[in-house]
Structure 1
Amino acid sequence: MSEETNHTRRRALQSICSVAIVGLAGCTSGSSESAQQPAQTATETSSNTATPERTATEAPESAQFVENPEEIHPALVEATSVPSDEVLIGFRLEDSSLPFTTEVYHAPDDAEIQATKTYDTQELSQVGLVPDPPRALDTVETDREDVHYGTTTIGEPLTVTLVARHDGDTFDWSAWSRTGYPHDGHDEANPALKVDCYCGGMIYTAPGGGTWARVIQVTPTERVDPGTTIALNWTSSRA
């Protein structure tokens, strides 16, 4: 896979057995950010001009998804290897209903967690939340959304930048739900994963002909056994 994924790729919404959205979810209970009171403005221009914050209240009734981290976990395990002292984390961005395919890059070393910006260019060399040169996560292909993955150690965060690029009109969406297998880190008093945060209840905006970027991180805690492979799934839909 090339360093820059093919951002013009479009996925048709497939007719497959699906489940309806149950409700909003996104941030781990241990996070400093909540879906109702996000600490970070959802969209900020590259000139640091903040867009007024908006909060989503419900998912579109027509949205249908397949939240299947348990089903894709065997494929992720078979296609990858993880050192015995590390943890492999797969990122599956369920975005078939959106006009773009979410890209996942290693974040710059100095990136601020939950930083979210938009840019009027699709050249990643001009996107400050992506390192120069861009380093895309390795990818396992599936018959639906691909799984991007990286490794880290217990207690050390895996920090990535989510990127949306498309050529249509400016587009609003929200990540409504997070699931995972064997851990999802959501709504736990003592989470196996600390996730900061592609959050449910926040509206994100991808500028037409430009780039949206958000920095998130996943940290496995001591509840996770070294050598474990984890599949995380974020479900997104039009706002």
Structure 2
Amino acid sequence: MGEETNHSRRRALQTIGSVAVAGLAGCNATGSSDPTQQPTDTSTATSTPTETSTETATNEHTGSEQTHEHTDAEPAEGVEFARNPEEVHPTLVEETSVSSDEVLIGYRLEDSSLPFETEVYHAPDGAEMQATKTYDTQDLSQVDLLPDQPQALDTVATDQEDIHYGTTTVGEPLAVTLVARHDGEAFDWSAWDRTGHPYGGHDEEDPALEVDCYCGGMVYTAPSGGTWARVIQVTPTERVDPGSTIVVNWTSSRVRT
């Protein structure tokens, strides 16, 4: 999780059981889900004006905006996901501590099939949620979706991807910037599915978690030799007890071509 330019590629995909991807279930409460999908995990599917059918990131001179539309794209053939937040949750609990008035949230990006390791940083104050940009540099000082002095979330290692975690309070978002620095040829990918433990926050009328949003059904582009960045956040609602520890897990892979 450092800021060096060159990164080792993610180790080969580890297959922990198979999972049928029944739908693109990336968005919820403060984002939206593809109206044609049939979600398989737990979060609300209410839409907001910022992400109904088309989403546009702020355009500034340091990066190129990305405009995304919900698509019918599917995962690349042969990709299997662990989707096991309930299995890694005890590790997060054992390796961390949280005060009785806070909530600890772990962000786990299950992206072993991608040629980069997704980095997770605290988002800058006032960041626009779902803002997404690509940059022709891997110098994080040029990534304006990060603070002037980027601070990575702490991590806990698991048998597959690390869990990046931070704390917040009930009703307050934990906003982060996802970063992908890629050395190979440009390619497209998507986050196909989201699960969580002990709360998922998907397809619920009264969600315990409001997630805004690394979204299924939207295709993202990793630029060659550059950086991709997206701002998201997770907010625990009053259904979450203070002192709780939560894992939110996203699965992602290249789109099928």
Q: Say whether the fold is shared (TM-score over 0.5).
A: yes
- Is structure 2 residue 115 aligned with structure 1 residue 116? no
After TM superposition, the score normalised by the length of structure 1 is 0.92
The change in CA–CA distance for 1:236 and 1:154 in structure 2 (over 3 A counts) is same
Q: Which moved more, 1:139-148 or 1:19-28?
A: 19-28
Task: Give the secondary-structure state (helix, strand or coil) at the position aligned to 2:88.
Answer: helix
> Residue 199 of structure 1: which of 215, 219, 222 is its match?
215
Task: Please state whether the residue corresponding to 1:75 is helix, strand or coil.
Answer: helix
Q: Give distance in 2, aligned partners of 1:25 and 1:19.
A: 14
Answering whether residue 40 of structure 2 is matched by residue 23 of structure 1, we say: no
The alpha-carbon distance between structure 1 residues 46 and 214, as it changes in their structure 2 partners (threshold 3 A), is farther
1:122-201 mapped onto 2 (5 Å cutoff):
122-201=138-217
Matching of residues 48-59 of structure 1 within 5 Å: 50-51=65-66, 53-57=68-72, 58-59=74-75
1:194–1:220 Cα contact (<8 Å) kept: yes
Query: Which stretches in structure 1 are left out of the alignment for 5+ residues?
Result: none
Residues 220 and 4 of structure 1, relative CA distance in 2, 3 Å threshold: farther
1:191-226 alpha-carbon deviations (Å, 9 max, x no partner): 000000000000000101000000001000000000
Matches for 1:219-234 after TM superposition, within 5 Å: 219-234=235-250
Aligned partners of 2:61, 2:252: CA distance in 1, in Å?
Answer: 24
Shift of 1:14: 2.1
Deviation digits for residues 126-168 of structure 1, max 9, x if unmatched? 0000112110000001111000000000000000000011100
1:70 aligned onto 2:86: yes
CA RMSD, Structure 1 to Structure 2 (Å): 2.2
Asked whether the equivalents of residues 170 and 207 of structure 1 are also in contact (C-alpha less than 8 Å), the reply is yes
- CA separation in 1, counterparts of 2:160 and 2:58? 28
Count the aligned residue pairs. Answer: 238
Task: State the shift of 1:22 in Å.
Answer: 2.4
Assess if the C-alpha contact under 8 Å between 2:178 and 2:231 holds in 1.
yes
Inter-partner Cα distance in structure 1 for 2:242 and 2:67: 42
Q: Which runs of 5+ in 2 are unaligned?
A: 36-51
Q: 2 CA distance for matches of 1:218 and 1:165?
A: 23
CA distance in 1, matches of 2:17, 2:58: 33
Report whether the alignment pairs 1:90 with 2:109. Answer: no
TM-aligned CA deviation for residue 5 of structure 1: 9.6
TM, length-normalised to structure 2: 0.86
1:41 aligns with 2:59: no
Contact 1:112 1:215 in 2 (8 A): yes
Q: Using a 3 Å threshold, how does the CA distance of structure 1 residues 62 and 56 change in structure 2: closer, same or farther?
A: farther
Task: Please give the secondary structure, in 2, of the residue aligned with 1:40.
Answer: strand
Cα distance, 1:88 vs structure 2: 0.4
Deviation at 1:38? Answer: 3.9
Asked if 1 retains the 8 angstrom alpha-carbon contact of 2:81 and 2:251, the reply is yes
Cα separation, partners in 2 of 1:33 and 1:15, compared to 1, 3 Å: closer
Tell me the SS of whatever aligns to 1:73.
Answer: helix
**Cα pair 2:186 2:222 within 8 Å, conserved:** yes
Contact 2:5/2:139 (8 A) holds in 1:
no
Q: Is the 8 A contact 2:55 2:67 kept in 1?
A: no
* Superposition deviation, residue 67 in structure 1: 0.1
